[in-house]
């Protein structure tokens, strides 16, 4: 009898890193973690830095397989999300850009660069409709509404270890689990140009990482140059119906030693708005 695959969809953020600690310490049974990297040019550099400096060594030290996966074309080359967006003459808009009325547009980034990439690995390792892989998703109690939005694939059975924990775990609990393991709190995980980011997060990027903010503005400008040539309305990376550079001001500096809950090392700030509907991003 074949063994059913048990894997965590690892997003690189707080919730899925807490799952990594729980698995490493034997509190949940998931020997495999799958990180779908949408591209070294697309993922937030801080997420990739945390993955390589902390998550991978921690997983290896505790006997956990942490696989970094990529979208591979039929010709064997690797495609990135940023590469698809910026390909010459490309008309593709796979990210949920905001339309001229402020509503998010359709997106295929999650399906193409997360779900299908992880699905290919699962199916290559025995997952099927008859033998569904058990896939753990890092959704915590304070975002439980995301569970209902997730559609299961035919080859998987999604489970929610943070919600099944006794008691169910919130984001702040996940942070404490990570700190107790001797790891720093990871940054929120998402592409650096993701339109689902909160305005406050864009403002902090403009303050703390101005070069990355400028790249986001340049990407938005490129997309709109192409849309103008096609006679289409502009799109934006925020809901404010104007260019990112004009829509977001620089965040004020945080006073030294002051955090939202006054607890050293913990971040009570709300996660990003909108989220990814399958739990692959912002976890």
Check residue 5 and give its pLDDT: 95
Q: State the Cα–Cα distance between residues 200 and 179, nearest whole angstrom.
A: 25
- For residue 6, list its beta bridge partners: 134
Q: Is the peptide bond before 94 cis (omega within 30 degrees of 0)?
A: no
Angle at CA 225, nearest 5°, toward 240 and 95? 55
Q: What is the C-alpha separation between 226 and 110, in angstroms, rounded?
A: 23
**Model pLDDT, residue 82:** 97
Residue 90 confidence class, pLDDT cut points 50, 70, 90: confident
Q: Give the contacts of 19 (CB within 8 A, at least 6 positions apart).
A: 8, 10, 28, 30, 33, 136, 138, 161, 162
pLDDT > 70? residue 150? no
Answer yes or no: pTM beyond 0.85.
yes
What domains does the chain contain, in order, with CATH numbers? 6-247 (3.40.50)
Residue 137 binned pLDDT confidence (cut-offs 50, 70, 90): very high
Nearest Cα to 78, choosing from 42, 24, 126, 30? 42
């Amino acid at each position: 009898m074949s063994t059913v695959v048990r894997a965590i969809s690892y997003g690189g953020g707080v919730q899925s890193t807490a799952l990594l600690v729980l698995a490493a310490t034997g509190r949940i049974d998931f020997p495999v973690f799958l990180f779908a990297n949408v591209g070294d040019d697309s993922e937030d550099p801080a997420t990739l830095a945390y993955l390589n400096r902390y998550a991978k060594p921690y997983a290896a030290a505790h006997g956990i397989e942490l696989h970094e996966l990529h979208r591979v074309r039929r010709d064997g080359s690797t495609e990135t999300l940023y590469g698809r967006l910026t390909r010459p003459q490309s008309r593709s808009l796979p990210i949920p850009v905001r339309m001229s009325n402020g509503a998010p547009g359709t997106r295929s980034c999650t399906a193409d660069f997360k779900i299908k990439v992880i699905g290919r690995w699962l199916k290559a390792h025995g997952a099927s409709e008859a033998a569904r892989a058990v896939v753990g998703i890092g959704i915590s109690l304070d975002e439980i509404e995301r569970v209902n939005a997730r559609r299961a694939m035919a080859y998987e059975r999604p489970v929610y270890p943070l919600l099944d924990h006794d008691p169910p775990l919130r984001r702040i609990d996940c942070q404490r689990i990570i700190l107790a393991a001797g790891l720093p709190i990871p940054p929120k995980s998402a592409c650096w140009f993701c339109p689902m980011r909160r305005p406050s997060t864009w403002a902090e990027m403009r303050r703390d990482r101005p070069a990355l903010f400028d790249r986001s503005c340049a990407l938005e400008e490129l997309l709109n140059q192409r849309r103008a040539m096609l006679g289409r309305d502009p799109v934006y990376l925020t809901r404010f119906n104007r260019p990112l550079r004009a829509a977001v001001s620089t965040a004020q500096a945080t006073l030294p030693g002051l955090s939202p809950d006054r607890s050293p090392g913990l971040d009570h700030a709300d996660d990003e708005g909108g989220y990814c509907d399958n739990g692959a991003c912002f976890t």
